[in-house]
A = this chain, B = another copy of it.
C-alpha cells in the first residue's frame, strides 16, 4: 500500500494524497481511461456495425465494441486509431469523438472512463478473413445484440451524431465503394435514417450539391436498364 496523507482542498473537501508523489497535482487521484469504437459500415442496403465476441476477460464470450486503454504516449484519437488498426489493419479511418462516458459503475471490473469514437469504413476494404480471426462480425444496426457495459448506449449516441453529420457532410465518401449508383447512395441514406425518400427528389438534391462525378459506366446488378456509376469528386471527408 502507498503511504498517504489527508489534505484539505480549497473548497474544504478533505482529500487523500499520495505522500510519495511530488508533483503539483499530487493530491489528486488518477483513473483508467479507455476508448471504444463504433465502427459503421454499409453493405446489402444495410447499415452495419463491426462488433467483437470477447475472447478475454472481463465479459468473455459476450459481444462488445472494440476498445482499448489509453496509453501514456498517445492522445485519445491516437488511441482510437491504434485500436482500429489492430482490428482492421486500416489507417486513415474517418473518426469522430463522442462524449465521454463516466458513470461510476459502467464497467463491472473497475472505474474506467471511456471516450467513444465512431468510425466510418468501407466494408469492402476489410478482409473478411481478418474479421473472422478477430472474432468480429458485421451486424446490422437494426439487429444488434446486447453489448457489454454501456456500449448499446454509445451506439445510440453515435447513430444520432451520424444522422446529423449525414445532413452536413457527404458521408457516402467514407461508406460506399469508390464507384456507386445514385440508387445505392439513396439506400445508404435510407438505412441511416430508417426512412424512405422520394427517389426523384433525392437524385435532384444530391446532384445539385455538385459533389459527384458521373462515370461512363453502368451497373446492371439491379435493373435491366442499368444505373450510371458515379464517384465523389473529393476522395475523403477530411
Q: Is A196 an interface residue (CB 8 A)?
A: no
Q: Contact: A71 with B15, CB < 8 Å?
A: yes
Interface majority SS (helix, strand, loop, mixed), chain A = loop
The answer to whether B86 touches A102 (Cβ under 8 A) is: no
Q: Does A127 contact B (CB under 8 A)?
A: no
- Interface size of A by CB at 8 A reads 42
A10 to B82, CA, bound (A): 13
Number of copies: 2
Say yes or no: A24 contacts B109, CB within 8 Å. yes
Task: Note all chain B residues with C-beta closer than 8 A to A30.
Answer: 30-33
Chain A 14-55, CB-CB to B under 8 Å as 1, else 0, gives 010000000111001111110000000000000000000000
**Is A4 an interface residue, CB under 8 A from the partner?**
no
Binds B, one of A73-81, A181-189, A214-222: A73-81
